[in-house]
Amino acid sequence: MYSYFLFLLILIPFLALSTWASVRVNTTYAAFDRVPNRSNMTGYDAAVRLMQRRGVHDISVGRVSGRLSDHYNPTKKIVNLSQSTYGSASVAAVAVAAHEVGHVMQKKSGYIPYKIRNILVPVTNIGSRLALPVILVGIILDFTLLSVSVPVGQYLVYIGIGLYGLSTLFMLATLPVEFNASRRARKMLLEDGILTEEELPGAKKVLSAAALTYVASLLISLIYFLRFALVFASMVGRNRE
């Protein structure tokens, strides 16, 4: 029991980081969604132009419900822009749209980290929303582990190690893909005159805030993986005694 409370004390700062990251991405997007871009292009316009100028003509641009639910689905060959991005002619909207086009260009160019991540999970924005499920599943496993018999508990530990090992691997594969897509986005927006040099820092802030949610998800997943790995090591030690 003592070790579990110690784990909670370690986990709390990472939970705070995850909460702060989620708040920051929403507030940063909201702030720059009120700043119109000088080219007067909407998220939809930007996505279409960026792809057409780079010889991509087989990917459509659609609209999905929600806020910041933007994602590229390579299987269906569509860039889905959220309602907050699709029709908005703001700095934030074109930044997010360009980021998704960045994933399109990763696939077109055969970017290796993208291929690896896409094998694990094909939907690009799932990692930014992974923190909360990771926390909830971890809490359920932990409380169940404290109340069941040893044989059942061993199976739960195996499940925890497998689950969080996979989620940590996914997030490790996701981070370079997301950072690279953001770099591509900034470069394309400037090259195509959708944003000016003066507007680009605002786009960078929006994309950096979004990237922080992936970092938070990775850290929480890693903490839980280490938690279950240490429980497993403790079980092995007791069995040897």
Given this model, what pLDDT does residue 34 score?
96
In terms of Cβ atoms closer than 10 Å to its own Cβ (0-12, 13-18, 19+), residue 114 is: buried
Per-residue pLDDT band at 234 (split at 50, 70, 90): confident
- Report the mean per-residue pLDDT for the chain: 86
Q: What residue has token string 């470069």? A: 187
Q: Which of 196, 175, 233 shows the shortest CA–CA distance to 38? A: 196
Distance CA 175, CA 31 (A): 25
198 catalytic per annotation: no
Q: Which of 100, 178, 199, 241 is catalytic?
A: 100
Per-residue pLDDT band at 171 (split at 50, 70, 90): confident
Sign of CA dihedral 200, 33, 188, 103: positive
pLDDT in tens, 176-216: 999 999 999 999 999 999 999 999 999 999 999 999 988 98
Minimum mean pLDDT among 9-13, 147-151, 153-157: which range? 147-151
pLDDT in tens, 44-53: 999 999 999 9
Please state the pTM of the whole predicted model. Answer: 0.83
Distance CA 102, CA 96 (A): 10
The encoded tokens of residue 238 equal 């007791």
Q: Which of 158, 173, 219 shows the shortest CA–CA distance to 16? A: 219
